[in-house]
């Protein structure tokens, strides 16, 4: 067994996140209506304030750097952005709490099982082991999952370490003394490549939709 590659590990994680997240989202969806409306209103407030600052900047003769500094210090813009954060947290909080609890049970139970892998890892031919290549006990599996918070808190730089040879360990693997392994000379399956591509296309579509939505709000604010 050799250290698993970054993209194979990410494909496995995203499969697992989907397995855990989709049922929670389906249960929570009926309760998200009002929350999503508050998020949309908060985004509109941010775009409106940006439009107001842009109009003010066009009418002034200030240097662009001076304008940018004024935008950074603008209290109304800060309040609008804080409103987006608060609206998103309020809307998603119950589902996020459920995801954290269910995900912990899912990852810890399966990675300490005889499979040594979650469903996603098993589908991609991965196993989680200690430094001797042996099965994790429940305590080490729990420590590995808890240490995953460090990889998230470092803005995913901890996860990116898994792309660095020769060990290809993420930050939480170093902390917990674990490894993610695969059999040598096994290519990423075609369906996993298609799964990764679909995520990239979805991300691009989401960014395009967000840009168009913001543009529409800005135009409405400017020509109001």
Band (60; pLDDT cuts 50, 70, 90): confident
Q: Is residue 108's pLDDT more than 90? A: yes
Angle between helices 6-28 and 75-111 in degrees, nearest 10: 110
CA-wise closest residue to 131 among 166, 178, 170: 178
Query: pLDDT value at position 217?
Result: 64
Q: What is each CA distance from 44 to 1, 38, 181, 192, 221, in whole angstroms?
A: 52, 10, 46, 37, 9
Instruction: Please report the pLDDT score of residue 122 as a whole number.
Output: 95
What six digits make up the tokens of 114? 């005889």
Residue 89's pLDDT is: 83
Residue with tokens 């499969």: 15
Q: What is the mean pLDDT of residues 177-186?
A: 89
Q: What's the pLDDT at 11?
A: 94
Percent of the chain residues topping a pLDDT of 90? 50
The domain locations on the chain are 2-223
Q: What is the mean pLDDT of residues 98-110?
A: 95
How far apart, in whole angstroms, are the C-alpha atoms of residue 94 and residue 81?
21
Residue 110: what pLDDT?
97
| Element housing 7 (H / E) | helix 6-28
Q: What is the mean pLDDT of residues 112-117?
A: 95
Neighbours of 47 (CB within 10 A): 20
Q: pLDDT: is 95 or 109 the higher one?
A: 109
pTM score, whole prediction:
0.79
- Residue 222 above 70 pLDDT? no
Task: Tell me the pLDDT tens digit for each residue of 122-172.
Answer: 999 999 999 999 999 999 999 999 999 999 888 889 999 999 988 899 999
């Amino acid at each position: 067994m050799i250290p698993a590659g970054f993209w194979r590990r990410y494909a496995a994680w995203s499969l697992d996140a989907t397995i855990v997240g989709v049922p929670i989202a389906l249960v929570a969806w009926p309760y998200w209506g009002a929350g999503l409306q508050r998020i949309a209103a908060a985004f509109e407030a941010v775009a409106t304030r940006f439009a107001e600052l842009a109009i003010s900047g066009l009418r002034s003769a200030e240097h662009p750097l001076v304008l940018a500094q004024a935008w950074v210090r603008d209290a109304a813009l800060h309040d609008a952005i804080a409103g987006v954060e608060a609206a998103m947290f309020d809307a998603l909080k119950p589902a996020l709490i459920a995801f954290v609890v269910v995900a912990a049970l899912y990852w810890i139970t399966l990675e300490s099982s005889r499979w040594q892998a979650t469903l996603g890892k098993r589908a991609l031919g991965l196993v989680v082991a200690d430094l001797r290549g042996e099965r994790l006990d429940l305590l080490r599996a729990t420590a590995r999952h808890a240490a995953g918070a460090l990889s998230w808190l470092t803005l995913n730089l901890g996860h990116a370490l898994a792309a660095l040879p020769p060990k290809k360990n993420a930050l939480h693997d170093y902390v917990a003394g674990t490894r993610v392994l695969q059999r040598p000379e096994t290519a990423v399956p075609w369906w996993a490549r298609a799964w990764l591509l679909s995520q990239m296309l979805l991300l691009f579509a989401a960014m395009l939709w967000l840009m168009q939505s913001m543009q529409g709000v800005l135009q409405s604010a400017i020509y109001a």
